[in-house]
């Protein structure tokens, strides 16, 4: 592993604060939209272990500085390491990140994520399985990984598959952006609080001398505001979403969307079609298979599967889409990648299935997640 990919020239990338009964974890790379680096994940893991053992700690608060909660993992750093011949760094990074996601989701201390701003990819992995997911008028959620040849990962096949109907397929295949109101409407978030009230909420939570979820929920509800969906929100058209995204294949979904678009000028449908046509065909098919299986899996199993698929991508086992997508979208900014295979019909089920199998490398093993007494049950009540 190349050690310079682990170096942290930026000090204080995560801040940790103690406040009465609460412990705050504050992502502090605002100039990079709080994207996660290896050392940040390591620091959070170390502190989380301490907090869980401390009987004085009753709850955890997770938030980000600036206009983002967290826009994802440091994909640029991972791709640079792959290009220099170190795909194992990406695997190590990802193993640590997924382990953190799982430990937060199964934490013995209730976790309150204050999602005030952008939350994408790795940021969703940190927050979407927390017990309380507080959003504001500034919140923007998306899982646009297909645009760079990746796929909605970090347990997305677990939490997206538990949304009503086929909303999860819609979000994962199109990378559609949701505001805080829409996140409440579909169940991705638990509370809507105006950003001006967040500090007051934090102070109130810090004084809660109990880990009882109903007590914490009551405190947050005291600061909550009513939501209001925009007239053009796709969530006013759930019937159409379910009709189109319930199809068995990506090709059928796209065909249904095109039929709907022909029947009327629906802006969200046009955007969905455009996004799917510009994403990696392989990524779309991987995600549709993943979310279908995720409906009947535990979070732990979804994360283990994510790790296997990502390792294949980083290792370039079957194609170079993650490298090509990152080149076009992240390094050269805004270019259209040349995907291989280039069309949906060229991506066979057999080709997709390979990504779900063991990586053929002597040093590789399946992701091992620690045994936890407190299983991830955050989403059970939403079903």
Active site residues: 73, 122, 145, 153
In sequence order, what DSSP letters do the residues of 227-241 get, joined into one string? ----TT-GGG-HHHH
Answer whether 76's CB lies under 8 Å from 326's CB.
Answer: yes
Residue 337 per-residue DSSP state: P
CB contact at 8 A, 303 and 101? yes
Contact between 150 and 298 (Cβ < 8 Å) = no
Q: Which residue has the tokens 């299983």?
A: 375
Q: CA 106, CA 92: separation in Å to the nearest integer?
A: 21
φ/ψ of 24, rounded to 5, equals: -105, 135
Locate 349 and state its tokens.
């089920």
Coil, strand or helix at 256: helix
What do you get for the CA distance between the two ends of the chain, in Å?
A: 42
Distance between CA 276 and CA 254 in Å, rounded?
8
Residues 6+ apart with CB under 8 A from 374: 106, 107, 108
What would the two tokens of residue 258 be?
């095109």
H-helix or E-strand spanning residue 94: helix 87-105
**Burial classification of residue 372, based on how many CB atoms lie within 10 Å of its CB (0-12 exposed, 13-18 middle, 19 or more buried):** middle
Residue 142 neighbours by CB under 8 Å, 6+ apart = 120, 171, 175, 176, 177, 178
Place of tokens 């000090």: 11
């Amino acid at each position: 592993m190349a050690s310079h990919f682990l170096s942290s020239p930026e000090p204080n990338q995560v801040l940790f604060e103690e406040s009465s009964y609460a412990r705050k974890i504050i992502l502090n790379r605002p100039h990079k939209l709080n994207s996660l680096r290896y050392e940040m994940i390591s620091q959070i893991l170390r502190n989380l272990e301490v907090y869980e053992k401390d009987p004085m700690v009753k709850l955890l608060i997770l938030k980000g500085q600036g206009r983002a909660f967290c826009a994802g993992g440091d994909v640029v750093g991972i791709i640079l390491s792959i290009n220099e011949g170190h795909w194992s760094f990406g695997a190590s990074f990802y193993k640590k990140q997924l382990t953190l996601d799982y430990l937060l989701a199964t934490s013995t201390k209730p976790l309150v994520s204050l999602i005030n701003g952008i939350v994408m990819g790795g940021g969703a992995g940190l927050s979407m399985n927390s017990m309380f997911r507080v959003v504001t008028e500034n919140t923007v959620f998306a899982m646009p990984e297909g645009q760079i040849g990746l796929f909605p990962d970090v347990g997305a096949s677990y939490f997206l598959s538990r949304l009503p109907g086929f909303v999860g397929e819609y979000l994962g295949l199109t990378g559609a952006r949701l505001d805080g109101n829409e996140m409440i409407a579909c169940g991705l978030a638990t509370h809507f609080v105006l950003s001006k009230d967040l500090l007051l909420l934090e102070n109130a939570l810090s004084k809660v001398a109990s880990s009882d979820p109903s007590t914490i929920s009551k405190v947050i509800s005291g600061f909550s505001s009513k939501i209001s969906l925009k007239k053009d929100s796709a969530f006013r058209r759930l019937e159409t979403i379910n009709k189109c995204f319930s199809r068995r294949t990506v090709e059928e979904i796209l065909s249904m969307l095109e039929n709907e678009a022909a029947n009327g000028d629906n802006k969200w449908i046009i955007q969905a079609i455009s996004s799917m046509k510009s994403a990696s065909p392989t990524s779309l098919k991987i995600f549709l298979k993943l979310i279908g299986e995720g409906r009947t899996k535990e979070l732990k199993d979804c994360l283990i599967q994510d790790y296997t698929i990502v390792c294949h991508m980083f290792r370039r086992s079957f194609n170079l889409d993650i490298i090509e997508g990152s080149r076009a979208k992240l390094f050269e900014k805004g270019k259209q990648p040349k995907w291989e295979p280039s069309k949906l019909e060229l991506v066979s089920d057999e080709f997709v299935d390979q990504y779900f199998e063991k990586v053929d490398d002597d040093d590789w093993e399946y992701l091992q997640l620690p045994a936890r007494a407190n299983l991830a049950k955050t989403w059970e009540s939403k079903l």
